[in-house]
Amino acid sequence: MNQVHFLTKNFGKYDTSSIGSYMNVGGFEALRKAVTMDPEEITDLLTAVKIKGRGGAEYPLGRKWSQARAVRGERKVVICNADEGETTTFKDRELICHDPFNLIEAMIIAAYVVGASDGFIYMRAEYACFRPLLLNAIRQAKNYGFLGTNILGRGFDFDIHLYSGAGAYVCGEGSALAESIGGHAGRPRMKPPFIKQCGVFHLPTCVNNVESLSLVAPLLLDDEGYYKSQGTPDCPGTKMISVCGNVKRPGVFEVPFGITIREIVYDLAGGMENEDYPLRLVQLGGASGRICSPAQLDTPYTYKGMRQADLTAIGSGAVLVVDERTSVIGFLRMTQEFFSHESCGQCTPCREGNRHISLLLDKVAEGTHTAQDIATLKKFADIMSSASLCGLGETAQSALLSCMKRFPEVFAVKEEVAVR
């Protein structure tokens, strides 16, 4: 299975510390083209190629920008969510590292479309080593007139600010991220109002992640329709994925939609790292993603295909491969420990639900659980999904619920416990 190179076409092709080198490979040509277009033309283009946001919500990018443009406000803000706190996800890191100027160019185009005057890159604390790279890119873009006032003589002003988080998983959620930038504790807000109406500093705000933004400039210059020629008719294009776990070749790959999970694991990633230990499960979309069993490996990696197989949204593109050295319950306990630690504690369903599910999983691991314990597990998971304040609590039990479907034997009650 060959990789494709649409988002990654600039990787290794220019000096990432030099804006001149980026311009030599066509850098900022997309911006020059964008400012000659009506903003609605750009949103229509994004809609025509069926671009969905590369985060968990999968919200259509063209629609998001169009709605952000329609919101009234003298000042608006564009945010690049580079927090990438989802476990086993590291593809945005590669886009920042190997093509930083493309990200800056995309943010300027986004600002032009939605009418924003300020932009923020919210980068996770663990990516501190990339701060000098992005600060240099911002400084050079300003020196060349791509940032600041009257950009390209088109009468619009825009500046980008770099902000580092403190390592909280929950700050990947839009409203928590906005609170953090504003100098407050990174905790999700009640909605409405939604972030597009009241975000950073209570200004209308448009949030996109690194991969979503990085698609924009190449798409504006894709006159031959290469992007749309990839993938499937109902799900065209390419996706960046992060593959890790018990495979021979972990890494970041750009793949066409329609590739199967089996091809990702066994062709791109080289298969299991130790042939004595076969595949047990694959988790898709990070810690909040559902579980794929070995019987589901031929599922096509498309939005529709994943839904039909009762798998997670494609979301962040994380693919975690786990072999038989790790038990299902051991894996779930590790995942549960992560969510218990990362919950901000603001809402009761998430705070208490995670704690009690951890205790019940301990009983399952010991083999002392009862049928009532399993019913309680499901009840807590359902309550968290419907009553939590943000996406962390709503999806924290995705792995648990899918494992209960895929591996019912793991949760079976022992006879002696049932009798007792």
Residue 33 belongs to a domain with what CATH number?
3.40.50.11540
Residue 370 belongs to a domain with what CATH number?
1.20.1440.230
d(CA 81, CA 371): 43
Three-state DSSP state, 17: coil
Three-state DSSP state, 115: coil
Rounded to the nearest integer, the mean pLDDT of the chain is 94
Domain-terminating residue out of 269, 296, 323? 323
Tell me, what's the pLDDT at 317? 93
Tell me, what's the pLDDT at 417? 57
d(CA 35, CA 39): 8
Domain that holds residue 235: 230-323
> Quick check: 347 pLDDT over 70?
yes
Element (H, E) at 119: strand 118-123
Task: Over range 226-239, report the average pLDDT.
Answer: 95
Dihedral of the alpha carbons of 149, 152, 153, 157, in degrees to the nearest 10: -30
- The reply to whether 6 falls in a domain is no
**Across-strand partners of 240?**
254
DSSP string, 56-109: TT--BHHHHHHHHHHS--SS-EEEEEE---STT--HHHHHHHH-HHHHHHHHHH
Q: Do 171 and 299 belong to one domain?
A: no
Three-state DSSP state, 46: helix
Domain-terminating residue out of 290, 323, 356? 323
Domain-terminating residue out of 166, 198, 220? 220
DSSP string, 228-259: HHSEETTEESEEEEEEEESBSS-EEEEEETT-
- The reply to whether 301 falls in a domain is yes
Q: What is the pLDDT of residues 17-58, one digit of tens each?
A: 999 999 999 999 999 999 999 999 999 999 999 999 888 778
Task: Over range 121-146, report the average pLDDT.
Answer: 96
Q: Do 319 and 332 belong to one domain?
A: no
